[in-house]
Structure 1
């Protein structure tokens, strides 16, 4: 789904403690066997010392992509590539937990978050040679905020309330919104707000969907493509405008990056061990310890920019219209059992709809404790009584619900298999269609499918996920929640906004239980021992700061 900050920021994934625990466990296991190589992790030879120049990094993604249009880059497969091709106005620094300058050397907002001013760094060009100046930024912002109806390109959902952009002076752009939106600046750091050349913007939807037609200002540029097989990027000579404070402010260390596709999850760890690939996304938990024990790396990139993994509630069938039923299902999930059975130490159990490191996170874990007796009582009080087969019924209808999801997460299907068993114990039948992409195609527009197993980027806050009445992700639009989302957009950064964020989380997770939360979003990568790689707060590989060592 799922997209990302700077390709040029070289910061370590915040998963080091969990990785260290995994490696320690692997080391003990090997010691008990009396054989096997020493393990290597983030502090392997490739993770230390000075950067090495040159070479090609081979990166394996999960599935091929046929549409590279910028606003559509809300999925990892797209964003993880475009992250290195497109720069953004701002960059979110996860260590500082704040936005820092990138293409915009300075940015500001008025008191009510309806006007924003960006000062554009001079001397930057797109890969087609055209200037990345204030006029080009205005054209991009209009495309994000208003869409391009003639090209059938929809507006960026994170740019709520966008009205106009105007060039003021030689190097400044002022954006005016129709309503306050304190999330607007944050949204300018997303890959879905990646800047492209004016010539790219002039292309129709098909033209903008072809990666060969996209001209960005990033540290890598497109070189070639074999459809459904690979995309080759080469470093851009002269790149010198990384985000403020980047460890590597200039050209990429690597000469090129080859993106290949490896949909077979069982082959991913082996591809790293054999040296066929340098980096792969989507390791199975069962493969993590073995890969680390082979002397290679298991790297967990935390998704600070996303919601947690959740079963997002959809109320079209009316079976989940009563909040008491949703609350019963929330406490009817044994999350610790999921962690112990399905996940690994790379995963952190959710304690809210926001992950633990997200700004404004509130710990609701006490309200998420597994309590099947409470769940049964809530369902009894809501009028759902057990039938002869153990499944609850009300007004002649069984409490039978369905979950859909993509196969992008390697743990989503087995997790819902366990939830299926847990809910059966409280009288609820779950039809598990998680990981079935064919079913997903028809289920997404169908509000009668009760759950969408998902995680979503939150550059525009939680509103774009749950607020729109025509939202095909959740099909849920609650007036009280929508008032909270509007209040969040209007709130000043700091204590006022944190208070509204806390109310949103309480409502979504506890009081209304529209988000049945599971685990913090994390993408688990396998990396060869000779590869140095770090990740953005959106889990994207930072190829601009990556390097490989010989041997």
Structure 2
């Protein structure tokens, strides 16, 4: 969960936006996000002013908000969405996607690609652009892909890699007719192989586990990058950064002179956008939607979303080790009410999400959640009774001298998160679970996630490719570095590995849905909502906005002619 070669990237709930809303208002209006029944599928519209390279002006400075990045190596399990977005502005964008997920090879890196199956085993041959070099002069050849594979295949556990199963299916990466031809040999077939090779690492960055794990800790490594832009300034304490045209770039010249990132919290970013100090700001709430609307010289872009937000339970926390407690808790979460808190006032409707793997607008989607987790607080009470948790004098359940008291951790101090924490506490109180809000700073997000410093935690995942089946391990694998909840079993791990070996995409998706239902029955999390993608942008800005799966290349971003 979380972009290395393109998985889902974790984002804090507070990064989506803030909404000044009272808990009472939320509790009184479950379903007030929009009138009428929800649609059968979430909207899949895009709105980002797509423009060809030749229709974008030369020059200009793009000013966007950003945040402090603790782990900047996008292949590392602790890297989040902000790190992924940062990475792709100064490293290779070798494969991109259309809004609906069609694969696009970037000839500036991969000049030719051939995929074949020989004797039941897949072989991918990639001709690398002869001109392609890292910024330190090292040629981009098969060694870069080989180093990436070795760091991510899970054979050396000291590499804290995020997505090991697909790389473990590779038996070798070697030179073909020359060093500029990489041959990737698989055991069996991987229909989603492109997601592994959206980008790659400099061999020096993957040379050993210590470098892999620490070289990008609160640091950038521009000498190991490649692309139309390079990082020329970076402040690890604030998140401020400047990207300028890369004089060593061999492809089309970047349209922008500079891209400046200003480290700001969500509300400060909105204020800066309103004051003309930023060219871009994102939001997902009614209050901030109003704030970014009607700003002189700007426009609002609104479309479908490849985000999904979850309530995660830490199965390693003492009081949540018991699956019966987790099951009862999730059966008592009123998802429409939580969704209404976040979607109220946006004139937007969507169905409740039914999968962590696919969105309702995608082929292969199945509502697995509704088949596994039923909203039924009365049954939840009986389950807690059966598990030995008896109500105390104040209604809070007790067992073996312990009270069933849990913390709801959230980062930042915006009212929307506080309202959500309050709503969850009110929903769980009737079944005898006491929930206490535990706010912490925005800067603690990475450590909360990587150290599982929570009982309950709301966070989101942004899908950077459309291949949901390949993320089974990240959500449900017991040994996955990306599994935030810690749930899983050896038996399910084996099923996940076996599913990855199914060559037929449709059959693999069908099996993935079956496995997901088993994974959901471990009661580690529940999907809550997706919401729209809403952006305020300077008038005429090209190739920025609600893109769903589209990934416009950095050199194409700028102002329309």
Calculate the TM-score normalised by the size of structure 2: 0.74
Of 138, 160, 182, which residue of structure 2 is paired with 1:173?
182
The yes-or-no answer on 1:353 pairing with 2:347 is: no
Alpha-carbon displacement from aligned partner over 1:7-39 (angstroms, at most 9, x marks no partner): xxxxxxxxxxxxxxxxxxxxxxxxxxxxxxxxx
The alignment partner of 2:343 has SS state of coil
CA distance in 2, matches of 1:76, 1:447: 18
- Corresponding residue of 1:24: none
Matched residue count: 496
Of 412, 417, 422, which residue of structure 1 is paired with 2:427?
422
CA distance in 2, matches of 1:45, 1:441: 33
CA distance in 2, matches of 1:412, 1:397: 28
CA distance in 2, matches of 1:283, 1:432: 22
Inter-CA distance 84–448: structure 2 relative to 1 (3 Å threshold): closer
CA distance in 2, matches of 1:44, 1:114: 39
Of 110, 118, 136, which residue of structure 1 is paired with 2:125?
118
Deviation at 1:498, TM superposition (A): 1.4
- Corresponding residue of 1:343: 343
Deviation at 1:84, TM superposition (A): 1.9
The alignment partner of 1:211 has SS state of coil
Inter-CA distance 5–529: structure 2 relative to 1 (3 Å threshold): farther
Deviation at 1:497, TM superposition (A): 0.6
CA distance in 1, matches of 2:127, 2:447: 44
- Corresponding residue of 1:157: 163
Inter-CA distance 282–106: structure 2 relative to 1 (3 Å threshold): same
State whether residues 119 and 172 of structure 1, in contact with CA within 8 Å, keep that contact through their aligned partners in structure 2. Answer: yes
Inter-CA distance 497–200: structure 2 relative to 1 (3 Å threshold): closer
State whether residues 331 and 370 of structure 1, in contact with CA within 8 Å, keep that contact through their aligned partners in structure 2. Answer: yes
- Corresponding residue of 1:259: 261
State whether residues 124 and 133 of structure 1, in contact with CA within 8 Å, keep that contact through their aligned partners in structure 2. Answer: no
The alignment partner of 2:326 has SS state of helix
CA distance in 1, matches of 2:123, 2:414: 37
CA distance in 1, matches of 2:71, 2:177: 36
- Corresponding residue of 2:81: 76
Inter-CA distance 452–198: structure 2 relative to 1 (3 Å threshold): same
The yes-or-no answer on 1:186 pairing with 2:195 is: yes
- Corresponding residue of 2:20: none
- Corresponding residue of 1:36: none
Calculate the TM-score normalised by the size of structure 1: 0.75
Deviation at 1:487, TM superposition (A): 2.5
State whether residues 141 and 165 of structure 1, in contact with CA within 8 Å, keep that contact through their aligned partners in structure 2. Answer: yes
Judge which range, 267-276 or 131-140, deviates more.
131-140
CA distance in 2, matches of 1:372, 1:429: 14
Report 1:300-315 matches (<5 A).
Answer: 304=306, 308-315=308-315
Deviation at 1:202, TM superposition (A): 6.2
The alignment partner of 1:462 has SS state of helix
The yes-or-no answer on 1:134 pairing with 2:142 is: yes
Deviation at 1:262, TM superposition (A): 0.6
The answer for unaligned runs of 5 or more in structure 2 is 7-44
Judge which range, 430-439 or 323-332, deviates more.
430-439
RMSD: 4.1
Inter-CA distance 207–382: structure 2 relative to 1 (3 Å threshold): closer
Alpha-carbon displacement from aligned partner over 1:393-420 (angstroms, at most 9, x marks no partner): 3344332223435559985453232111
The answer for unaligned runs of 5 or more in structure 1 is 7-40, 242-249
The alignment partner of 2:85 has SS state of helix
- Corresponding residue of 2:530: 520
The alignment partner of 1:342 has SS state of helix
- Corresponding residue of 2:295: 294
State whether residues 433 and 439 of structure 1, in contact with CA within 8 Å, keep that contact through their aligned partners in structure 2. Answer: no
Alpha-carbon displacement from aligned partner over 1:337-359 (angstroms, at most 9, x marks no partner): 22223334368542222333456
